[in-house]
Amino acid sequence: MIRLLLVIALLLGSAGRASAHKASDSFLRIRIDAERVDLRWDIALRDLDVAIGLDGDADGAITWGEVRHAEAAITAHALSRLAIRGDAADCPLAAASALKIVEHSDGRYAVLSLGGRCRSAPAQLEIDYRLLFDIDAQHRGLLHLAYGDGSQTAVFAPDRRRQTFGSGRPARIFRTYFHEGIWHVWKGADHMLFLAGLFLPAVLRRKKGGWVPALSLGAALRDTAALVTAFTVAHALTLALAAGGVFSPPSRLVEALVAASVLFAGLNNLLPMVQRRLWLLAGFFGLIHGAAIAGALLELGLPAQGRVTALLAFNAGVELAQLALVAVVVPLCFAGRNSAGFRHAVLVPGSLIVAIAGLAWLLQRALDLRIPMPF
């Protein structure tokens, strides 16, 4: 339980500046037409500032003039961290047009337009991506590749820097999205805090205005597993509907509702509002969290010929990560459930942390306020 609280504290350290569903990403769109390679690469200005320093006057604002002044350095830095090979032969890349700036949901991005040629039309393509991994292990490169008669997607990570395309597609799609489902749980600050709000009272039962210890570990495990499974099923439903284009809720509203779910999870442990059928509550908030993560997956672009596989794999990864947390955290809590110290040193302060973080995120996302976090 101590480890879980430490994780919560570390996550809160970045709560004022990061969205749980929007970590450091860059977006690669590559089209292979015979031997021709055309590439658009969107890289966050904040990431480029960390990597090569864009804010020349150190005033905290990156201007268009500063970006233009650093254009050659940006292009050189990006090209040094990306390599494309067709049938084991390099496909050299170079700038194809002037750098541009676009707005994404989390800020401004530099857009690099690159082009190149392979020796011949490749039957198999290898992409080696190394942007920012040396300074940010949580960075991800999100690829949409138009290649042959279809399209493919992939996620580059420190342990998946080099990937090959053209063979083994179903297995590769499953591995990629299964891994990202697990990573979604671990990197998502508000996802982790929402789960913490559910887990903290997992080994206690509220009766007559107070908490009493659960009688058996098995019952506590079953109840908590039911909560996270209801959350995952609902999460999968809205994720699939959004990915299928059935609806597209405003991202700002959805992110505010996610923050509200974290706030409610913490407050419900301190001032009980819902005490029975908590799996229905978990399912309701799962619908909201699923809509939130759909935005990130749609920016990545789900594979046209493997969309069902990708969605199933992603949600399987989410469920496995959550059940793993249940298997570790609930037995630890069960061991200390009879102690008054558990309630006063773990349940109450832990729930306060969850509620305060949820309130801060809600104010940030609903009212666009910048609130410094005291963690």
Paired residues of 86 in beta bridges: 89, 125
Does any domain span residue 52? yes
pLDDT at 6 over 80: no
Domain that holds residue 304: 2-19+188-367
pLDDT on residue 23:
65
Reading the block at residue 85, the tokens are 């090979």
Range in 39-48, 108-117, 137-146, 219-228 the model is least confident about: 219-228
DSSP string, 243-279: HTTS----HHHHHHHHHHHHHHHHHHHHS-S--S-HH
- Among 168, 203, 225, the domain-final residue is 168
The answer to whether the CB of 112 falls within 8 A of the CB of 95 is yes
| 204: confidence class by pLDDT, cuts 50, 70, 90 | confident
Reading the block at residue 270, the tokens are 């301190």
Q: What is the pLDDT of residues 300-334, one digit of tens each?
A: 556 656 677 777 888 888 888 888 888 888 888 88
pLDDT at 49 over 90: yes
Paired residues of 110 in beta bridges: 43, 101
Question: Which range in 126-135, 203-212, 260-269 is most confidently predicted, on average pLDDT?
Answer: 126-135
Does any domain span residue 178? no
Answering whether pTM is above 0.75, one says no
Backbone angles phi and psi of 60, in degrees to 5: 85, 0
Residues 15 and 29 both lie in one domain: no
Strand residues in 77-139 grouped as ranges (E): 82-86, 89-90, 93-95, 100-104, 107-117, 125-129
**How far is CA 15 from each of CA 19, 254, 259, 261, rounded to the nearest angstrom?**
7, 17, 11, 15
CA atoms within 13 A on the CB side of 91: 31
Residues 223 and 332 both lie in one domain: yes
Q: Considering only residues 41 and 120, tell me which one the structure prediction assigns the higher pLDDT.
A: 41
pLDDT at 51 over 90: yes
pLDDT on residue 306:
67
Average confidence (pLDDT) over 37-41: 95
Reading the block at residue 375, the tokens are 């963690």
Q: What is the pLDDT of residues 348-359, one digit of tens each?
A: 888 898 899 889
Residues 122 and 202 both lie in one domain: no
| 15: confidence class by pLDDT, cuts 50, 70, 90 | very low
- Among 168, 203, 232, the domain-final residue is 168
Reading the block at residue 265, the tokens are 């999870």
Q: Considering only residues 370 and 274, tell me which one the structure prediction assigns the higher pLDDT.
A: 274
Residues 11 and 102 both lie in one domain: no
